[in-house]
Every structure is written in structure tokens, then in C-alpha cells.
Homo-oligomer: A and B are copies of this chain.
Amino acid sequence: MAKRENISSSVIRRLPRYYRFLRELDKQGITRISSNELAKRMRSTASQVRQDFNCFGEFGQQGIGYSVAELRDEIENILGIKCHYPAILVGAGNIGTAIANQVIFENRCFDLVGVFDKDENKIGSKIGEINIRHTDDIENFCNNNSVVTAILCVPKGAVEELSERLYNLGVRSFWNFSHYDLNMKFKNVIVENVHLSDSLMQLCFRINQEHNN
């Protein structure tokens, strides 16, 4: 655990997947697992698994394997899953509603504290326990709540103005579902982009390759 500062970004990218598998194992009542077995389940290699876990401490014991719960807890700590950063979501369309429900349901990393939309017909209806507010109320809301993160589920055309407002309110991290490139606009913000169409193009490429071989 003393080693934590050395964790490479590629290891970090793999952590959520390890976390999902370890939670699954825990649910199945499996308390210990070898790197071989974990690698087999994850379609990885034992040496990759050992190398990754070595980055953040001594969890494995030769012949005994890893403690599922310890490893899961440590990854939970590294990722900060219990932090519950206050987040708002803007754009309560289909994707926004789905994402809001997921964030509420998973109840980790972030607490969804506000949902905003500009459509008057949606104002006052609820997602989970949260009232949908008008986007005009964002300033007021953010000034009264320590919002850390904004989840952007609005069309590309709306992001520029919206992100500027949020930035001026002190929001410095974004989960961005639009195709607007926030990193180009602000230098000192954390942006996690979800580009669904990129994922679709990857799938298309792989099907193409298969058909042409």
C-alpha cells in the first residue's frame, strides 16, 4: 500500500474491472483466489494479475492466493469509491435519466444531489428521490451545495455555455456524454468522456475485419 504512488495509468484503467470481478467472487462466497484462477476468469494472464496487484501491496501468498475481500477493499480505497462526491446531472432526457438512475442505484463514488433540465414539462418530476430543477437554478443550487462534479447529458450545442457556467461556479470535474471536447476549453479540469459512437465504430471495425478475413 506504501507503493500506491507508483501505480501506472494502465493499471488504474484495469482496476474497475478487477473490482467488478472481486465483488462478484465475494457475492459467490469465494474468499480466496489464485492469480491463475482470477486471470482465467478475466481472460488475462496470471503474470499480468500478479504484476498489477504488486503495484499496491502484498496481497498474495504463494499457494494460498489472494484474499478476495482484502483485495476488493484495497481497490475500493485506491479508486475512492466511498468518497461520495456531490454531483449534479444536467439533461434529463433518456440517457440522462438512465445515468441518474444508475448513479443513484450504485451509490458509490458520487452522490447525485441535483438534476437539471431546461424543459418546463420535466421540472418538478422526479428521478428517484430527486426533483428535476430548471437549468436556470444551477447557479443558485451550486452556490448552496458544494458540487464537485457535473454529469453532462445535454446536446453538444449546449455544452459550451453550460460548462462555462459550471466552471465559474467552481465545478472542476465532468462526466461528459456530449461530443463537445471540454479538455480543449479548460486546462485544469478533470474530464471523463463517454463517446458511445466511438465504441460503436470499434465494434463495426471488428465485424468488418472478421467479414474480410
Contacts and interface: CB of A to CB of B under 8 A. Distances in A.
Nearest to A80: B208
Given A43-B183, A199-B192, A204 B94 contact: no
Contact of A175 (B148, B183, B199): B199
B196 A202 contact: no
Chain copies in complex: 2
Main secondary structure, interface of A, reads helix
A205 B94 contact: no
Interface in A98-117: 98-99, 101-103, 106, 108-110
22 contacts: A12-B202, A17-B195, A78-B205, A79-B205, A80-B207, A81-B201, A83-B208, A85-B207, A95-B98, A103-B200, A106-B200, A109-B200, A109-B201, A110-B200, A173-B206, A175-B199, A175-B200, A190-B206, A190-B210, A192-B202, A192-B203, A192-B206
